[in-house]
Amino acid sequence: MKKLLFQFDTDLHPSVFDTIVGYDGGADQVIAHGRLTPDNVGPLVEGTIFTRAPKDKKNTAIFVGGSDLVAGQNLLRAVRKKFFADFRVSVMLDSNGSNTTAAAGVAKLASSGTLAGKKAVVLAGTGPVGQRVAVMLAKEGCSEVVITSRQLARAEHACAEMKARFGVDLVPVEAFDDDARAAAITNAQIVFATGAAGVQLLEERHWRDHPNLELLADANATPPLGLGGTDMMDRGTDRYGKIVWGAIGFGTLKLAVHRACIAKLFERNDQVFDAEEIFALAKTMA
């Protein structure tokens, strides 16, 4: 019985990255479909749940991806609405790598120091990874989690979305340049940069002599990095008394978590891997 992974992507062209990791995670065949929406995904889901006997349904699974996290969440919801009784298969959501990247980064921070009771700032945190990072930091007991954006309205919208989905309270802050972002981290112990590739969010001078900072992470692997003075290969590196994780430094765990989730999809036919489940696995692997 072949292990079939159906890759449901919200973009026109399904992610090659996700296809490769699907195979590396143990799928015998990855069948990718692009430009899927809640309106057209129904027949595909029905094809996955009606074709195999109950004992064999665990050998079929669905991966929901694409570059748009909101679209991915809506697609996951539509997929799950088609399930009933034992007519279901396991499904994973990782739009834009948001869940696995955030889970790996926060898990590595948690393995390097205490998160509970600390103030955390997620720089440029309105994107898929930043939103998930903020949620996971809040779930780990941070006393306050700030999301910054160049536009306050975007930060407010992201905070409202995460409140509705996860029930966490996040603080929106407008920070339109390096100095404004430096002001935003004044009382923070944790900083996680999740900006666009090749965009620097802080210069080294903004954090190097910071008296409160303990933990830093940067999800950007394209120079210039989000946090000046750090290295994408940093793996819990001590820099000026702060512990730093770079994108490649925790990226190894991200890939391992992604592959592990794919493998677990084929253990049962009733699993859902979203932020909570993926983060729980990442913490055990960190």
Chain segment 175-220, per-residue pLDDT in tens: 999 999 999 999 999 999 999 999 999 999 999 999 999 999 999 9
Mean pLDDT across the stretch 157-182? 96
pLDDT grade for 221, boundaries at 50, 70 and 90: very high
Continuous segment of H or E residues that includes residue 148:
strand 144-149
Q: Quick check: 191 and 185 in contact, CB under 8 A?
A: yes
Pairing, β 242-245 against β 235-239: antiparallel
Q: Which residue has the tokens 């072949």?
A: 2
97, HSE (Cβ side, Cα atoms, 13 Å): 22
Tell me what pLDDT residue 251 has: 97
pLDDT at 229: 97
Provide the pLDDT for residue 167.
Answer: 96
CA distances from 32 to 11, 20, 41, 191, 200 (A): 11, 11, 12, 36, 34
8 Å CB contact between 242 and 214:
yes
Mean pLDDT of the chain: 97
Beta carbons within 8 Å of 40's beta carbon, 6+ residues apart: none
DSSP structure string for 72-86: HHHHHHHHHHT-BTT
Rounded (10°) CA dihedral 47, 42, 67, 175: -140
pLDDT tens string 106-151: 999 999 999 999 999 999 999 999 999 999 999 999 999 999 999 9
Which single residue is written with the structure tokens 């994108």? Answer: 247
**Residue 286: what pLDDT?**
94
Residue 114: how many other CB atoms lie within 10 Å: 14
Over residues 53-73, the pLDDT tens digits come to: 999 999 999 999 999 999 999
Instruction: Report pLDDT digits (tens) over 89-99.
Output: 999 999 999 99
Omega before 128 cis (within 30°)?
Answer: no
Summarised one tens digit per residue, pLDDT across range 225-270 is: 999 999 999 999 999 999 999 999 999 999 999 999 999 999 999 9
**CA 224, 199, 20: angle at the middle one, nearest 5?**
85
